[in-house]
Amino acid sequence: MLKRKVLIVDDEKLVRWSLTQKCAEYGFQSLEAPGGEEALRLAAAETPDVILLDVHLPDQSGIEVLEKLKQAGDTSAVIMMTADPQLEEVKAALRLGAYDFITKPLNFEELSVTVQNAAEANALRTEVESLRSEMRRRTGYHDVVGVSRKMTELMKFVRKIAASEASTILIQGESGTGKDLIAKAIHYDSARTDRPFVAINCSAIPENLMEAELFGHERGAFTDAKALKKGLFEVADGGTLFLDEIGELSPLLQAKLLRVLEDQVVRRVGGVRDFQVNVRVIAASNRDLERAVREGHFRQDLYYRLAIISIFIPPLRDRKDDILPLADFFLDHYNRKFRKSVRGMTEETRRLLLENEWPGNVRELKNAIERAMILEEDSLLRPNYLPHAVSGSHTGPGTSASAFPAPAGETSFAGSRRLPALSIPDGGTSLQDIEHALVEMALRQAGGNQMRAAKLLDISRDALRYKMKKFGLTHPDDDEQAAPATA
Ligand SMILES: Nc1ncnc2c1ncn2[C@@H]1O[C@H](COP(=O)(O)OP(=O)(O)OP(=O)(O)O)[C@@H](O)[C@H]1O
Ligand SMILES: [Mg+2]
């Protein structure tokens, strides 16, 4: 393990010498500075984990040094030392973000524990920071692939909105076009990035629970309300609330949401007072909301409020220039994920991908590449393992039942529309595994919508949930999309 670095700042040579000895004894690497200027120089050049800083220095006070360190963005844990602690100094030091304040003569035993703790806390914070920026990298614009004119224009607009004060944003587009992705990109590129990103799917939660979910409830508000519950608006305070499938929100909740958006206040169910909240709401819909308004399913006033800033993500078939860059991006992704080394795609694969209509948009393309990557043993991705719909083949090994490709030429159950082309391998198979795979596929095909997935399998939503639980399934796309999720 790397040795922790301690910077000792004291004008007394003897103090520096004895602290250096102790540091060595406890396994810390140390640096010395006799005054403030030298301390600031060393802190910048050496990025120590811990700084032991005397309050009384010849050239400036330790408090001033601390202030300059913090202004310069220094991240080390600063422990202030003094022989005669003044309350005002202690308060100032702690206010400025000192880690601790200790009095001389120093008790080395205690000091070593404090230094150790400070170093740990610092390492942990650095780790959290880097994980956070990694998160941001993963969910930021770097992950939004788009080279077509439509997408580059759109991303320019998205960046502008992210940096703006806009408090409501509407994202529309067909299923699988990237609404979730853009919503996250907006959040992580905004000033709200260090505050929560909370997502909830309005169609996934029964209406009677949705209100409490969004606005919270007081203790005893209704029979099951044993304890106070914070609503997602409160949880997301300072951050972003992503309301997915907003078109599914009940009329009552549409009215309540409008009030929150207009006044930026929420009231818990059973509550008597309003809470001020500062939340950016990003709503998404894959239904044509304007039409829903015309047909009377969606409140016009709410629609106008949401649509002040509105983003429409075009379907993939209208921006074909994005298909191959996206495919390359997913190929890369699955190479890493599956530890494969597929170098690229054959000409034929490229042609098929380009010609396809992609009704399921980017998600469908991603799934097609995933499946092909799982099965490909060659160094180039061949059309062999692309789904039927893409390859247009009816005899290739590509079937819609991705986990169980039927052998070439096999078209079992081909006559029935209700059964996918499955066949049992010679070695036999497991009904459980097939059920598992089918549930997964249905969820995927339904874009994570449980109602739709249940319908695809002709079972009740409860039955589907039971099976999801049994197979440990959450959301089909990735590991992080379960709603409501806090990032
Ligand atoms: N431009 C893009 N670049 C990279 N990946 C993308 C892009 N657009 C979408 N994806 C990926 O495609 C998948 C589907 O995208 P997403 O979940 O954002 O779609 P959606 O519009 O929210 O769909 P739905 O309406 O079904 O909820 C995700 O895995 C997402 O990361
Ligand atoms: Mg979505």
Q: Is the pLDDT of residue 476 over 50?
A: no
**Sole residue written with tokens 């997915």:** 244
Residue nearest ligand 1's atom 31 by CA: 181
Q: Check residue 8 and give its pLDDT.
A: 96
Alpha carbon 278 to its chain's center: 20
CA-closest candidate to residue 280, choices 343, 209, 196: 196
Residue predicted with more confidence, 83 or 402 = 83
Looking at ligand 1, which atom is closest to the CA of residue 144?
Answer: 3
- Element of type H or E holding 409: none
> Which of 142, 150, 175, 180 has most ligand 1 atoms within 8 Å of CB, for mutation?
180
Kindly give the number of the ligand 1 atom that is closest to the alpha carbon of 366.
Answer: 12
Query: What was the pLDDT predicted at 323?
Result: 96
Nearest CA to ligand 1 atom 18: 178
* Listed residue (269, 202, 196, 264) closest to 229, CA to CA: 269
pLDDT tens-place string over residues 393-418 = 533 443 343 333 333 333 333 333 45
Segment among 3-12, 123-132, 477-486 with least mean pLDDT? 477-486
Q: What is the distance between the alpha carbons of residues 11 and 9, in angstroms, rounded to a whole number? A: 7
Ligand 1 centroid–CA 371 distance in Å is 17
Query: Which atom of ligand 1 lies nearest, measured to the CA of 178?
Result: 18
Which numbered ligand comes closest to the C-alpha of 243? 2
The per-residue pLDDT for 136 is 56
CA distance 115 to 100: 10
Locus of tokens 């067909």: 174
Q: Angle of helix 108-139 relative to helix 179-188, nearest 10 degrees?
A: 140
Residues with CB under 6 A from ligand 1: 143-146, 173, 175-181, 286, 326, 329, 362-363, 366, 447, 477
Of 107-111, 230-234, 272-276, 303-307, which gets the smallest average pLDDT? 107-111
Would you state the pLDDT for residue 71?
87
CA 180 to ligand 2 centroid distance, Å: 5
Cβ-contact 166, 308 below 8 angstroms: yes
Pocket test for ligand 1, best of 172, 362, 367, 370 (most atoms within 8 A of CB): 362
Query: Is 134's pLDDT higher than 80?
Result: no
Nearest atom in ligand 1 to the alpha carbon of residue 481 is: 17
pLDDT of residue 408: 39
112-116 long-range contacts (CB < 8 A, ≥24 apart) are 112/22, 112/26, 114/79, 115/4, 115/6, 115/23, 115/26, 115/28, 115/50, 115/52, 115/79, 116/4, 116/26
**Which residues have CB under 8 Å from 269's CB, separation 6+?**
211, 212, 215, 216, 217, 218, 221, 222, 225
Tell the residue number behind the tokens 């001020």, with chain if given.
276
pLDDT more than 90, % of the chain: 49
Query: Which residue, among 399, 205, 179, has the nearest Cα to 289 in the 3D structure?
Result: 179
Model confidence at 4, in pLDDT bands (50, 70, 90)?
A: confident
Residue of the CA atom closest to atom 8 of ligand 1: 178
- pLDDT for 140 equals 52
268: left (phi over 0), alpha (psi -120 to 50) or beta: beta
Predicted pLDDT of residue 279? 96
Q: What is the pLDDT of residue 169?
A: 97
Ligand nearest to the CA of 185: 1
Predicted confidence band at 423 (pLDDT cuts at 50, 70, 90)?
low
Q: From ligand 2's centre to the CA of 363, what distance in Å? A: 10
Bin 244: left if φ > 0, else alpha if -120 < ψ < 50, else beta.
beta
Distance 41 CA to ligand 2 centre (A): 50
Task: Render pLDDT for 184-231 as a digit per residue (tens, 0 to 9).
Answer: 999 988 999 888 999 999 988 888 789 999 999 888 777 777 778 889
User: Domains of the chain, with CATH numbers?
Assistant: 5-136 (3.40.50.2300), 140-314 (3.40.50.300), 316-393 (1.10.8.60), 430-487 (1.10.10.60)
Q: What is the pLDDT of residue 129?
A: 64
| Closest to 282 (Cα-Cα) out of 219, 342, 197 | 197
pLDDT tens-digit readout, 170-186: 999 999 999 999 999 99
Give the total residue count for the chain.
487
For residue 486, with 0-12 CB atoms within 10 Å meaning exposed, 13-18 middle and 19 or more buried, which class applies?
Answer: exposed
Letter for the amino acid at 273? R
HSE on the CB side for 68, CA within 13 Å? 15
pLDDT tens-place string over residues 240-296? 999 999 999 999 999 999 999 999 999 998 888 898 999 999 999 998 899 999 999
* Alpha carbon distance 240, 219 (integer Å): 26
Q: Residue 36 and residue 378: Cα distance in Å, rounded?
A: 63
Q: Considering all CA atoms of the chain, what is the largest pairwise distance in Å, rounded to the nearest integer?
A: 92
State in Å: Cα 180 to ligand 1 middle: 6
Ligand nearest, relative to CA of residue 142: 1
Report which of 466, 468, 399 is spatially closest to residue 440, judged by C-alpha positions: 468
Distance of CA 176 from the midpoint of ligand 2 (Å): 7
pLDDT of residue 135: 59
Neighbouring C-alpha atoms within 13 Å toward the C-beta of 343: 5
Please tell me the predicted confidence (pLDDT) of residue 457: 87
**pLDDT tens digits, 346-377:** 999 999 999 999 999 999 999 999 999 988 88
User: How confident is the model at residue 393, as a pLDDT?
Assistant: 58
What distance in Å separates the CA atoms of residue 62 and residue 53, rounded to the nearest whole number?
6
How far does the centroid of ligand 1 lie from the alpha carbon of residue 215, in Å? 28
- Banded pLDDT at 467 (limits 50, 70, 90): confident
Atom of ligand 1 nearest to the CA of 313: 21
Task: Give me ligand 1 centre to Cα 237, in Å.
Answer: 26
- Supply the mean pLDDT for the chain: 84
Name the pTM for this structure: 0.60
- Give dist(CA 19, CA 33) in Å, integer: 12
Name the CA dihedral angle for 314, 316, 320, 321, rounded to a multiple of 10 degrees: 70
139-178 confidence digits (pLDDT tens): 555 579 999 999 999 999 999 999 999 999 999 999 999 9
Ligand 1 pocket mutation pick from 145, 366, 479 by most atoms within 8 angstroms of CB: 366
- Residue whose CA lies nearest to ligand 1 atom number 12: 363
Stretch among 54-68, 149-163, 446-460, 470-484 having the lowest mean pLDDT: 470-484
Residue nearest to atom 26 of ligand 1 (CA): 175
- Indicate the DSSP class of residue 342: -
**Eight-state DSSP code of residue 61:** B
Q: Over range 319-341, report the average pLDDT.
A: 92
Q: Compute the distance from residue 175 Cα to the ligand 1 centre, in Å.
A: 8
398 contacts 213 by C-beta, under 8 angstroms: no
What's the CA-to-centroid distance between 282 and ligand 2, angstroms? 12
Residue 320: is its pLDDT beyond 70?
A: yes
Residue owning tokens 């499938």:
245
Give the mean pLDDT of 428-444.
Answer: 80
Report how far residue 355's alpha carbon sits from residue 131's, in angstroms, rounded to the nearest whole number: 39
* Statement: residue 486 has pLDDT above 60: no
Question: Which protein residue has the closest C-alpha to ligand 1 atom 7?
Answer: 178
